[in-house]
Structure 1
Amino acid sequence: MDLDAYVAEHGGEWRRLGQLCDRRRLDAAEVDELVALYQRATTQLSVLRSRSPDPALVGELSQVVLRARARLTGRPRPSWAAVHRFLLVGFPGAVWRAAPWWCAVATAFTLLTFTLIWFVADNPETAAAFIGDAEAAHLVESGFAGYYTEFSAPTFAFHLWTHNAWLAAQCLAAGVLIVPVGYLLWQNVVNIGVVGGVMVSYGRGDVFFGLITPHGLLELTGVFVAAGVGLRTGWAWIAPPEQLTRGQAVARAGRDGILVAVGLVVVFAVSAVIEAFVTPAPLPVALRIAIGATAWLAFLAYVLLLGSRATTSPSSAEHGDSDPRPAR
């Protein structure tokens, strides 16, 4: 193949194709010309790729062909309607459909955590078994409160955001196996229960609850939602509805899991901002708790109002409203 002759023969068409791609508006004749030149250019590109050793020429023509394809097919643009539907229907509906699951998780987690706090506080010697006497003393004196001011607020917020999002992703992904979700939750029960029990046993319960409550309400609710949705996916595999195959049931629950995963990114961002900027702020404890409680109640109201409406809307069936609920 004579490469120079081939370029001389078709180079004018390639330049013309590039010129048409650069124009903001094309009339009907120019559109027809663009289509014809694009079709010829794709064929010529295939010839060059198979016969030409010149990667620069192949790359240049590939760019022209890609620009022409984008001009003909149109560039994808963000759909605000899709964002609107996700915020008002998709995410709240998915959280609402899994409400029996994450409410059950929240109840069990809370009972186990407060039981462990009470046990450690009532049996101070157990603190040594969990973390040691020296670490317990350090935790009470400065360790627990210092955790919230160890890093700059923006850095701390980003760390919290990514950590909580990763924990939620683990719960969602491992839900189909059931057991890993229980293990992840138990780790958090032990962490909060032991630390809380140590603080209470040393008479610093007010410090513990004053620091953990502002952000913990929303943060833990996000974790509960992720765990509940993950477990719901696992149950869809174990006991799918009669009208669905096991694969269909898991796929439907999994779609809700994806919606929840995306939505929780925002939830954890809010809780991270509260933990990094509000929790350690020199504000009255009541005000800090009020700020956290307001964000938490706003999220619950959002799920209650929009989620229930999304589930009962005529189009709700396509979002998996018939997915399995916990066995009664």
Structure 2
Amino acid sequence: MDIDAFSAARRDQWDRLDELTRRRQLTGSQADELVALYRGAARDLSRARTQAPDPQVLAELSRLVVAARARVTGTREVRASDLRRYLAQTVPAALYRLRWWTLGVTLAELAIAVVVAVWTLHSPQAMSALGSPSELSAYANDAFESYYSTYAPSEFASQVWTNNARIAVLCVAGGITGVLPAYVMWANAVSLGQAAAIMVDHDLLGLFFALISPHGLLELTCVFIAGAAGLKLFWTMLVPGPRPRAVALAEEGRALIAVAVGMTGALAVAGVIEAFVTPAPVPWSLKITVGVLALVVLWTYTLVVGGRAVRSGVTGDLDEEEAGAVAVAVG
């Protein structure tokens, strides 16, 4: 197909579609015309993609079709089947594609926390910077444990979930800066290492792990995943690969929003465990078992369900109908 001749023959229809799409108000006949022109442009885009993939023409047609589709269809109704597919395929696929980044961030976080803990224990200046001996003793012997029972369980669960979900979303949404997720991950690791150092210094390492493990296994993993998502988005901006940078960022950004959705749900579970299980008067072995099971469920969802979704072709990005359309990359 001669793309120049094709464009010249269809130019009037494309220009008219662009004009109608931009109008604030349409008459009945103009609305019918818009629908007809939109369908024609969609067919033209499909034909150009397969027969004459000229980048300039494809980019123009993609823009026209996206704008016209939004004008024609308005807000798309969310169906129950869409929600099921999103939770059963899109979210786990996005988590699965992030698994190696998650592992890398997890190892880095744990390494930083251990280094900070050891350094704090062996540096009187570092330990004294955290508080006076009486303050540190009160923290280790009372405040660290009483924190989990200060508020009513339902109120505490809501507070914990809100705070952690906000951090997770900020890591993902602020990933484009690179600085925000890196700072959050650093601050989280340092705080964890310092808390561990204080507890070890008062011979309470066992209590530290007993209190942290029930909810912390899931909660910290969610934070690591959110940090990994933000850092991956920043890396995509730096190294987009064969895709145009704008296309790569749009695709990865939509997929990583699915990660934020998944982490918001998982952090709600972690909040419930922290508020109701961690302070409960039951054996610590049972509490830790609950934490381990919650973590196993998350990784099963990621590796088994997500792996199956990815192998079936799901990327974690929205499909074309949900996203409106995607810009076309050629070459």
Report if TM-score (shorter chain) is over 0.5. Answer: yes
Q: Is the 8 A contact 1:172 1:229 kept in 2?
A: yes
Q: State the AA in 2 paired with 1:305.
A: V
Matched residue, 1:221: 221
Inter-partner Cα distance in structure 1 for 2:314 and 2:173: 27
Q: Is the 8 A contact 2:120 2:194 kept in 1?
A: yes
Q: State the AA in 1 paired with 2:137.
A: A
Matched residue, 1:50: none
Q: State the AA in 2 paired with 1:307.
A: G
Query: 1:308 offset after TM fit, Å?
Result: 0.9
Q: Is the 8 A contact 1:120 1:201 kept in 2?
A: no
Partner SS state of residue 130, structure 1? coil
Q: Is the 8 A contact 2:255 2:316 kept in 1?
A: no
Query: 1:123 offset after TM fit, Å?
Result: 4.1
Q: Is structure 2 residue 235 aligned with structure 1 residue 235?
A: yes
Q: Is structure 2 residue 263 aligned with structure 1 residue 264?
A: yes
Matched residue, 1:197: 197
Query: 1:125 offset after TM fit, Å?
Result: 5.3
Q: Is structure 2 residue 272 aligned with structure 1 residue 273?
A: yes
Matched residue, 1:206: 206
Aligned residues: 249
Q: State the AA in 2 paired with 1:86.
A: Y
Query: 1:169 offset after TM fit, Å?
Result: 1.1
Inter-partner Cα distance in structure 1 for 2:314 and 2:183: 37
Q: Is the 8 A contact 2:95 2:302 kept in 1?
A: yes
Matched residue, 2:113: 113
Q: Is the 8 A contact 2:158 2:271 kept in 1?
A: yes
Q: Is the 8 A contact 1:118 1:197 kept in 2?
A: yes
Q: State the AA in 1 paired with 2:132.
A: G
Query: 1:105 offset after TM fit, Å?
Result: 0.6
Q: Is structure 2 residue 298 aligned with structure 1 residue 299?
A: yes
Q: Is the 8 A contact 2:255 2:315 kept in 1?
A: no
Query: 1:80 offset after TM fit, Å?
Result: 1.5
Q: Is the 8 A contact 1:229 1:257 kept in 2?
A: yes
Unaligned runs of 5+ residues in structure 2 are: 1-27, 29-72, 320-331
Inter-partner Cα distance in structure 2 for 1:183 and 1:314: 34
Q: Is the 8 A contact 1:199 1:205 kept in 2?
A: yes
Q: Is the 8 A contact 1:171 1:226 kept in 2?
A: yes
Q: 1:272 to 1:317 in 2, by over 3 A?
A: closer
Q: State the AA in 2 paired with 1:283.
A: V
Q: Is the 8 A contact 2:214 2:292 kept in 1?
A: yes
Matched residue, 1:179: 179
Inter-partner Cα distance in structure 2 for 1:112 and 1:314: 37
Q: 1:140 to 1:88 in 2, by over 3 A?
A: same
Q: Is the 8 A contact 2:157 2:275 kept in 1?
A: yes
Q: State the AA in 1 paired with 2:284.
A: V
Unaligned runs of 5+ residues in structure 1 are: 1-38, 40-72, 321-328
Matched residue, 1:42: none
Matched residue, 2:141: 141
> What TM-score do you get using the length of structure 2 for normalisation?
0.71
Matched residue, 1:164: 164
Q: Is the 8 A contact 1:92 1:302 kept in 2?
A: yes
Inter-partner Cα distance in structure 1 for 2:274 and 2:240: 39
Q: State the AA in 1 paired with 2:299.
A: L
Query: 1:207 offset after TM fit, Å?
Result: 0.8
Inter-partner Cα distance in structure 2 for 1:104 and 1:274: 26
Query: 1:190 offset after TM fit, Å?
Result: 1.7
Higher relative contact order (CA 8 A, sep 6+): 2
Q: 1:93 to 1:279 in 2, by over 3 A?
A: same
Percent of aligned pairs with the same residue? 35
Q: State the AA in 2 paired with 1:266.
A: G
Inter-partner Cα distance in structure 1 for 2:205 and 2:123: 15
Q: 1:190 to 1:82 in 2, by over 3 A?
A: same
Query: 1:186 offset after TM fit, Å?
Result: 1.3
Inter-partner Cα distance in structure 1 for 2:170 and 2:75: 35
Inter-partner Cα distance in structure 1 for 2:170 and 2:261: 14
> What TM-score do you get using the length of structure 1 for normalisation?
0.71
Partner SS state of residue 283, structure 1? coil
Q: Is the 8 A contact 2:136 2:198 kept in 1?
A: yes
1:1-328 alignment to 2 at 5 Å? 78-123=78-123, 126-242=126-242, 244-316=243-315
Partner SS state of residue 282, structure 1? coil
Q: Looking at CA atoms only, which structure, 1 or 2, has the larger radius of gyration?
A: 1
Q: 1:125 to 1:204 in 2, by over 3 A?
A: farther
Query: 1:141 offset after TM fit, Å?
Result: 1.8
Q: 1:211 to 1:245 in 2, by over 3 A?
A: same
Inter-partner Cα distance in structure 2 for 1:250 and 1:204: 46
Inter-partner Cα distance in structure 2 for 1:258 and 1:130: 36
Query: 1:131 offset after TM fit, Å?
Result: 2.8
Q: 1:131 to 1:170 in 2, by over 3 A?
A: farther
Matched residue, 1:58: none
Query: 1:122 offset after TM fit, Å?
Result: 3.9
Inter-partner Cα distance in structure 1 for 2:315 and 2:298: 21
Deviations 1:280-299, CA, capped at 9 Å, x for gaps: 11111111000110011111
Inter-partner Cα distance in structure 2 for 1:138 and 1:252: 49
